[in-house]
Amino acid sequence: MRALVVYESMYGNTQVTAGNIADGLRGDYEVTLVPLAEATAELVAGADLLVAGAPTHMHGLPSTSSRRMAAQAAAKEGSGLRMTPGARGPGMRDWLKDLGRRTAWPRPSTPGSTASPRSPAVPAAPSPSC
Ligand SMILES: Cc1cc2nc3c(=O)[nH]c(=O)nc-3n(C[C@H](O)[C@H](O)[C@H](O)COP(=O)(O)O)c2cc1C
């Protein structure tokens, strides 16, 4: 069984959490841990379990504006905040939207199999108003 752990992280906290989750899964799964920028459709299609994590920004998933705010906060002198190398990559919000739009993920072919492509489960997007 394969597990894919995907994370978005500005300052590294979610990255650490994702790493801990990946470590916890290793007894039962063959685990791949990647930042969003490296989470290809092929990796998703090959996973039996998908774990997706992102920081809470303004009570929800990071948005373009909250990601900008995070970068601005880190750029302030003396903030003590450091952006992770992948922080300027794609965001979980858009990645999940794209994931939901794809109805025909490529499935690893099995000889003799006629199984139709599957669509991964996508959690409901948080309310933008909270
Ligand atoms: C713009 C912005 C908005 C945030 N909004 C929330 C929030 O609504 N609730 C909360 O608990 N934390 C909030 N946080 C704190 C982050 O969730 C927290 O710092 C998190 O550990 C960052 O994860 P990261 O290091 O993976 O980027 C916010 C941080 C930023 C930069």
Interval 32-77: pLDDT, tens: 999 999 999 999 999 999 999 999 999 999 999 999 999 999 999 9
- Identify whether 10 is part of a domain: yes
- The alpha carbon of 27 and the centre of ligand 1 are apart by a number of angstroms equal to 30
- Identify whether 121 is part of a domain: no
Rounded CA separation 102/41 (Å)? 10
Number of domains, the chain? 1
Between 55 and 125, residue with greater pLDDT = 55
- The alpha carbon of 44 and the centre of ligand 1 are apart by a number of angstroms equal to 26
- Identify whether 31 is part of a domain: yes
Where do the DSSP E strands lie in the chain?
Answer: 2-7, 30-35, 49-53
pLDDT at 106: 52
Of the chain, the percentage scoring pLDDT greater than 70 comes to 76
Between 104 and 68, residue with greater pLDDT = 68
- Identify whether 126 is part of a domain: no
Domain of 27 in residue numbering reads as 2-101
- Identify whether 63 is part of a domain: yes
Q: State the pTM of this model.
A: 0.82
Cβ–ligand 1 distance for 59 under 6 Å, the answer: yes
Contact 84, 19 (CB under 8 A): no
Q: Which atom of ligand 1 is nearest to the CA of 69?
A: 1
